[in-house]
Amino acid sequence: MPQISHVLFDMDGLILDTEPLYTEATVQVAAKYGSNVQFSWDLKVKQMRLPRLDLANLIIREMELPITPQQYIEEYLLWQLQAQKILTFLKQQTIRGKPYPDIFQVCASRFATSPKQPNNCLVLEDSPAGVKAALGAGMCCVMVPDERMFTTPQYIPTGVH
């Protein structure tokens, strides 16, 4: 086991319990367009690991929404903005999202004293995409999932120690 000298925390969903806000944003946009499809846990887990445009396409298809992906993204962000302005601002400032490792690499480079090796960093994550991003950055990772994740074990990354 490498010597851990730095710890990175996923803020969104782990430090701050924002997932209910995201769920509510999706439910509100779907209701506005008359969807009768329930936003299920299975659908929520599927969309957790997707980049924004792919997520929009999935939600539109599964919830049978008569709008474009861009419309969904705009409406979702508008609703979400009312509930959490600061997280939306921070997301707009970041580089590629997870599962790409970029965000963790940038964060590690911003420590006052940089880690000697990427595997000296421990990442605490709540999503499969975040775990993939951390491992892709060469860092150690502990997944702290929503307890409902265990009802859908097919989405929990395998082969991770």
Which residues are part of the catalytic machinery?
A: 10, 12
Nearest to 126 by CA among 137, 106, 141, 139: 141
DSSP designation for 142: E
The answer to whether residues 115 and 144 touch, using CB atoms and an 8 Å cutoff, is: no
Burial of 120 (0-12, 13-18, 19+ CB in 10 A): middle
